[in-house]
Chain A
Amino acid sequence: MLQHFKGIHITALKTCVPSQVVSNAFFEELLSPKEIKIFEKTVGIKNRRWATDNITALDLGFEAANSLLKEHDVASSEVECLIFLSQTPDYKIPFSSNILQVKLNLPQNVLCLDINAGCAGFVQGLGTAFSIAQTIKGKVLFIVAETLSKILSHKDRGTSMLFGDGAAAMLIERSTDDVSETYFQYFSDGNNADAIMIPDGGCRNVVTSHSFEIEKDDKNNQKNRLQLAMDGARVLDFTLREVAPSILQILKQANLDKEQIGAFLLHQSNQFIIKQIAAQLGVEAQKFPINIDQFGNTSGVSIPLLIQSQAENNNELDKLILSGYGSGLNWANGIISLKQTKIYPQIEL
């Protein structure tokens, strides 16, 4: 599916990350010093932020959104829709946006919507926010927040070092500037739904005592059925096969050449993958900013954290490619300008 918008903007953005920094030294029981060195060379992660026990994705999202509304001087009545996108919500029932509605003092006549989406989620959620913003006078408040650290086994080399926590909040609205154009395009491959999954805990496989039993693989990785399982080889193969051609496709749809793109903001899952995609596209690696060394893979939050880093470094924010890819398996791309977006300083919780 392809979407095309004119005159809809992200007017303001704020990010919030946990204050707790977890370096690769934390994993020295899992990996030898040499393995950690190779991990840093390939995957590129040196540090990640992990929320402490009493902080959830909803808390991080609330801090980002609450600060955004205050700093951007937005009256609560201006927000007509609240979207919360996460795979790590507080509860199964109720959904989180309803809880945030009252915490953020938003009026009752607001559409509260939760989206369960993964690493492509930022683009999926943004497309949803743009679609709604096009039909209303007020603002859409879009929050993406994750605490993946809470669903990992610290004895699984395939997942535990990869993920980090964080949140971003942004305001999306119509403006009188009708010139700016935005494109989103989405893809799904449900055949690989089991490549990234938590097997138990939903209604298909309800929680039983068996769910807590530790399962070991041939490399002695250990996890239970309520923790994240990822088939890394299959996911790596998928990203190297699908992402670059899909970026060329959206460029063609928007009638743009890759040379006209200011920067390619790719989901920060793995530095190696980003460099491979840059090479596949034949675009210089400098146009693919990377901050995975600081935050790890924060799922749908990674692109907003990258936007934040770009703004802090006074880097390009015009004609950006956004590209998310991950659980589902799903991938989604966007072409957007954030020249007019007010990006506020990052906060910590």
Chain B
Amino acid sequence: MNKAEFIKGLEEELELEITLTAETDLKGLDEWDSMAAMLLIGYVSNEFGLTLTADDIKNISTVQSLIERIGVEKFN
């Protein structure tokens, strides 16, 4: 999965009405809440087998920071 596919998939998973980019601040989204966090954790877990923790969620800001947490090398 490349970065663009990941971002598009995340946009669909969170059912966003805006277009997500690497620079989007996830916590600033109208849709951001604990359920969005669950959708995010589930999506990352399904795609990368990585379970994000509450600390990870706390530390993530932009989509790019999420990608860096997952590991840039995992995106081709």
Contact = CB atoms under 8 A, between A and B. Distances in A.
A240 B53 contact: yes
Given A38-B15, A219-B33, A232-B34, A240 B57 contact: no
- The range of chain A's interface size is 20 to 34
A35 B35 contact: yes
B42 A276 contact: yes
Contacts of A39: 35
Contact of A236 (B34, B36, B39, B58): B34
Given A234-B54, A237-B54, A276 B37 contact: no
Interface of chain A, main secondary structure: helix
A279 B34 contact: no
Nearest to B14: A38
Interface string B23-39: 00000000001111111
A216 interface: no
Contacts of B58: 233
Nearest to A219: B33
Interface string A158-200: 1000000000000000000000000000000000000000000
Interface in B21-73: 33-39, 41-42, 45-46, 51, 53-55, 57-58
Contacts, number: 49
A39 B39 CA distance: 10
A280 B51 contact: yes
B54 A279 contact: no
A276 B45 contact: yes
Contacts of A270: 38
A237 to B, nearest CB: 3
Contacts of B39: 38, 41-42
A232 B53 CA distance: 13
24 contacts: A35-B33, A35-B35, A38-B35, A38-B39, A41-B39, A43-B35, A158-B34, A232-B34, A233-B34, A233-B37, A233-B58, A234-B54, A236-B34, A236-B37, A236-B38, A236-B54, A237-B54, A240-B51, A241-B53, A270-B38, A272-B42, A275-B42, A276-B42, A279-B46
